[in-house]
């Protein structure tokens, strides 16, 4: 059966319920894609026999009219930070991990209870610390549009796997951009919900006060369907027929973005804004006076030390040198600096809310560039050369640090490579970000 590409998750589940599509067939297709795209290095672990057995059970249940939930029979992947019963959790590292309980993450259980098939676990940047998708222990995850380029991190395998159809979506995490950046580089949709909207029990922490779990999918509707299950908000987002039908009101922090993009991304973003206006959406300028969000974020690395302190004390060489150095910097901050950073989190959330005013969402690119070649550490912005990581954090860190919902979806293709736009909404207004993103996706599809 051919499934309409704009509503992949809902259409697949609907076809399974109607008996027009077999979960076994969906898993077999996903396994074929794992083999076909092996060189992209997206998968950390899979058990084909186990996945097919799950699919057969779900097929029998569907045939008997016993539907577990809105994801019945849909294969999904899980970032290898989450415990999944029957699968190892390695987090892309050789270092020993702290105890992670329960033995299956709450978010994974929610997906499973909704009928999803847990197909595989995906590769990531070591312990989710990094933004380029490069990992000396497990190998780099490669960009699906150009394997010589970065897939983005740290949810690199989740984004690249979703882009090539290994499952219908993936569960990722985002501490400073780790869902939105790989979504941008890989041309898929990534949603970082409000902090705490999706439970993280059973997942390896990095910076608990900034860690978020959320979906990576191929459409906004798919991300919304997964989020409804992950957040236990099915009643709010179940009916997606007219999802995002009204033109939202947007704001753009122009002064904050000054000099922060590569020239081709700047031109594409300005053209995109004009396209939204032409489609009927008011777009106004906004002031986002938050200083250096990446710098403000740094004292929270003390939380990472607390997560990994035992491994740092006993087997520091088991971390890659750059990861070990980043973790060790967490020791340098005083208790006062840490508490000041916690206060800055609340202040930044207030500033973002003020910038939004009565608008539905704030817009800015999810990345300053398209995916650069693997190994890149510096890019040329409008304002001159800039460290790649810092250039990315300027765009992604504010929403993560403030804990507000932020959606990334592709808005332009430059030289055959995608770049995403962030749709940022007030804390707790996750549906608002998704609805605004769905409207944008519809406008872009009508071109």
List Cβ neighbours of 215 (8 Å cut-off, separation of 6 or more).
169, 170, 171, 172, 190, 191, 222, 223, 226, 227, 230
List Cβ neighbours of 358 (8 Å cut-off, separation of 6 or more).
249
What sign has the CA pseudo-torsion 307, 313, 319, 324?
positive
Structure tokens at 436: 């605004």
Instruction: Out of 22, 154, 156, 304, pick the active-site residue.
Output: 154
Is 79 a known active-site residue?
yes
Instruction: Out of 79, 121, 142, 386, pick the active-site residue.
Output: 79
List Cβ neighbours of 192 (8 Å cut-off, separation of 6 or more).
174, 179, 180, 212, 214, 399, 400, 405, 406, 407
What residues form DSSP beta bridges with 251?
284, 362
Nearest to 199, CA basis, from 238, 154, 229: 229
Nearest to 29, CA basis, from 146, 222, 168, 215: 168
Q: How far apart are CA 307 and CA 290, in angstroms?
A: 28
Is 156 a known active-site residue?
no
Instruction: Out of 22, 158, 170, 178, pick the active-site residue.
Output: 178
Look at residue 287 and give its three-state secondary structure. Answer: coil
Please, are residues 425 and 273 in contact by the beta-carbon 8 Å criterion?
A: no
CA atoms within 13 A on the CB side of 124: 31
Q: Just list the catalytic residues.
A: 79, 154, 178
């Amino acid at each position: 059966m051919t499934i309409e590409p704009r509503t992949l998750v809902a259409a697949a589940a609907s076809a399974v319920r109607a008996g027009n599509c077999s979960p076994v067939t969906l898993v077999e297709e996903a396994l074929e894609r794992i083999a076909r795209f092996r060189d992209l290095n997206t998968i950390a672990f899979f058990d084909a026999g186990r996945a097919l057995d799950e699919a057969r059970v779900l097929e029998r249940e569907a045939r008997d009219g016993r539907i577990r939930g809105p994801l019945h029979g849909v294969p999904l992947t899980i970032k290898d930070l989450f415990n999944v019963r029957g699968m190892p959790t390695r987090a892309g590292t050789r270092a020993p991990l702290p105890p992670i309980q329960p033995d299956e993450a709450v978010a994974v259980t929610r997906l499973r209870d909704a009928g999803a098939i847990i197909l595989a676990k995906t590769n990531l940047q070591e312990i989710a610390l990094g933004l380029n998708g490069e990992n000396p222990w497990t190998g780099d995850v490669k960009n699906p549009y150009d394997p010589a380029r970065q897939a983005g991190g740290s949810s690199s395998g989740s984004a690249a796997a979703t882009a090539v159809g290994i499952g219908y979506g993936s569960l990722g995490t985002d501490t400073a951009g780790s869902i939105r950046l790989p979504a941008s580089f890989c041309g898929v949709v990534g949603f970082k919900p409000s902090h705490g909207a999706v439970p993280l029990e059973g997942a390896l922490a990095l910076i608990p006060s900034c860690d978020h779990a959320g979906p990576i999918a191929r459409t906004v509707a798919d991300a919304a369907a997964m989020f409804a299950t992950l957040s236990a908000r099915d009643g709010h987002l179940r009916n997606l027929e007219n999802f995002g039908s009204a033109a939202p009101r947007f704001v753009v922090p122009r002064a904050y973005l000054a000099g922060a993009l590569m020239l081709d991304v700047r031109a594409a973003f300005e053209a995109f804004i004009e396209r939204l206006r032409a489609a009927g959406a008011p777009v106004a300028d906004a002031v986002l006076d938050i200083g250096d969000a990446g710098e403000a974020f740094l004292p929270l690395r003390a939380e990472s030390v607390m997560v990994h302190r035992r491994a740092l004390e006993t087997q520091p060489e088991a971390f890659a040198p750059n990861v070990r150095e980043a973790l060790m910097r967490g020791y340098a901050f005083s208790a006062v600096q840490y508490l000041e950073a916690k206060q800055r989190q609340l202040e930044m959330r207030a500033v973002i809310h003020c910038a939004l005013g009565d608008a539905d969402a704030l817009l800015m690119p999810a990345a300053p560039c398209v995916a650069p070649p693997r190994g890149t550490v510096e890019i040329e912005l409008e304002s001159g050369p800039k460290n790649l990581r810092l250039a990315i954090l300027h765009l992604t860190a504010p929403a993560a640090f403030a804990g507000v919902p932020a959606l990334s979806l592709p808005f332009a293709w430059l030289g055959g490579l995608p770049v995403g736009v962030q749709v940022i909404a007030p804390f707790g207004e996750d549906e608002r970000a998704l609805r605004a993103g769905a409207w944008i996706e519809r406008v872009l599809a009508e071109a």
